[in-house]
Structure 1
């Protein structure tokens, strides 16, 4: 068994090249330092130092153990730091659009929960437009979703184009109004799509509306029509129509994080984690 106290003494002696100096740094007598080294050598069954009246140097086994000793001491320091730090407590009210919630967000939240188990998470999933309203009303601490047109608040997480999606093998009859599957208002995606079609002079009809992107995906997988999603997020079994190049090109959207005016320490901590994480989903989902 490698006693961490002996390991600390060994590493200090190896650096100081002196039992006396190591004892001074550790607040130990020279005899205690010698005892720690003897016990460590007995434990590993190897000689760690070559000592004479004028010098002290590591053996080959000592050099090898020093590498492990430093890793062990670094790991112990990290563990002590984590568990000696005050534990975060409180509640964080997070709002997220459901297209982000279906990506890697659960993994990010799980990592936060593992590190800060005393923090209560209250999660609201909804359309981005509604989330803006909840932040402004003081009912959410943080939100992540698409940037609303004309609103410059928030910090960018990522951006990418929207794309048309439908059941595999779908060919759109471009002579007819586009059969749209869209989320209900207030929706950033819906507003962008309808504005794009209106500007292009392209006729459409909403064949299905849903309160969530999940509902739109289900309807599109059932072949009811064509829906839209950010290219950076998973389509869950949907692909662009066979003749998607004939359809109006859709613009980019930007996903942002938006925080309330004053945040608690738990909310600030989660916000930092979200901004460091890549919330784009795998295309294979």
Structure 2
């Protein structure tokens, strides 16, 4: 009898295709990069065909890989449908989730994507507003759960992530030495804005707030254009940004913390499911360093080639 295809290998294969990266796929399927490379070697042995080839500094599917992808998606989808059909405890209902704009941009795609796949019968209603406004909506019972900047002086939340808060400027536009620091920050009640102002005041460095917005896109655009400096968590750094340190005349900032606020009365099963997903996704977030990501993929694909019996040479890849 012909041995069946391994579902776990197929899921990893799909993750590589969807993310375009061995490194990102490893994060998505919660495996090491070495394990991902080994799985692809074994899948190729099972199929008897080469699935991936190098393409410049990236990877691409071979024609045989393209053929397998269609079958893999259908197999995984049918498997999930079969499990759901016999799951008497599958979750249903609606969850109203609040998050600041900058958290939505960085964290929510992963949270929503994972949750929707495992709980397709739960409707997610997402509200993007500053933490202060989300806390008010929670108090009024207008939201079920909210991701907020943890600030125990103003609101109670359970901390689920802590990371450095960084001064950031444009990597391509140096700041003038003899002018006040131009800032792009959130509204007056934004905790990061208050921390930035207090830190500059503490060393007597002049600054001028040029841009005020609760939109992370607006703030990031001002920074990347070289028009202003801002403060962002490490995981929100983008290509084209430069971290400004004490050597650049910027004082150290305290770390930022993300907290979860929960509304009493929400079904325990629903609350536990979304909380576990949020916590797992936040644990899996890494700093957005494009150079490290490319280097990680080069190493992963090199292991994959060597496992397949190739030389592992990636010069010019």
Query: Match for residue 61 of structure 1?
Result: none
| SS class of match (1:239) | strand
Q: Deviations over 1:10-50 (max 9, x none)?
A: xxxxxxxxxxxxxxxxxxxxxxxxxxxxxxxxxxxxxxxxx
TM-score (norm 2): 0.59
Once the 2 structures are TM-superposed, how far is the Cα of residue 122 of structure 1 from its aligned partner? 0.5
Query: Match for residue 246 of structure 1?
Result: 249
Q: Deviations over 1:51-99 (max 9, x none)?
A: xxxxxxxxxxxxxxxxxxxxxxxxx9xx658832332111101111222
- In the aligned structure 1, how far is the partner of 2:245 from the partner of 2:154? 35
Larger Rg: 1
Q: How does 1:16-27 map to 2 (within 5 A)?
A: none
- In the aligned structure 1, how far is the partner of 2:132 from the partner of 2:177? 30
- In the aligned structure 1, how far is the partner of 2:217 from the partner of 2:250? 23
Aligned residues: 211
Q: Deviations over 1:132-179 (max 9, x none)?
A: 222122111111131125146222222122111111144334543211
Alpha-carbon RMSD = 2.7
- In the aligned structure 2, how far is the partner of 1:152 from the partner of 1:209? 23
Query: Match for residue 129 of structure 1?
Result: 132
Query: Match for residue 67 of structure 1?
Result: none
Assess if the C-alpha contact under 8 Å between 1:183 and 1:210 holds in 2. Answer: yes
Matched, 1:114 2:102: no
Assess if the C-alpha contact under 8 Å between 1:166 and 1:225 holds in 2. Answer: yes
Matched, 1:268 2:272: yes
Query: Match for residue 280 of structure 1?
Result: 285
Assess if the C-alpha contact under 8 Å between 1:146 and 1:255 holds in 2. Answer: yes
Query: Match for residue 172 of structure 1?
Result: 175
| SS class of match (1:189) | helix
Query: Match for residue 91 of structure 2?
Result: 88
Which ranges in structure 1 are unaligned for 5 or more consecutive residues?
A: 3-75
- In the aligned structure 2, how far is the partner of 1:86 from the partner of 1:177? 59
- In the aligned structure 1, how far is the partner of 2:98 from the partner of 2:155? 18
Query: Match for residue 46 of structure 1?
Result: none
Matched, 1:187 2:171: no
Query: Match for residue 11 of structure 2?
Result: none
Is the deviation greater in 141-150 or in 243-252?
Answer: 243-252
Assess if the C-alpha contact under 8 Å between 2:185 and 2:231 holds in 1. Answer: yes
Query: Match for residue 7 of structure 2?
Result: none
Query: Match for residue 50 of structure 1?
Result: none
Which ranges in structure 2 are unaligned for 5 or more consecutive residues?
A: 3-78, 291-317
Once the 2 structures are TM-superposed, how far is the Cα of residue 100 of structure 1 from its aligned partner? 2.2
TM-score (norm 1): 0.65
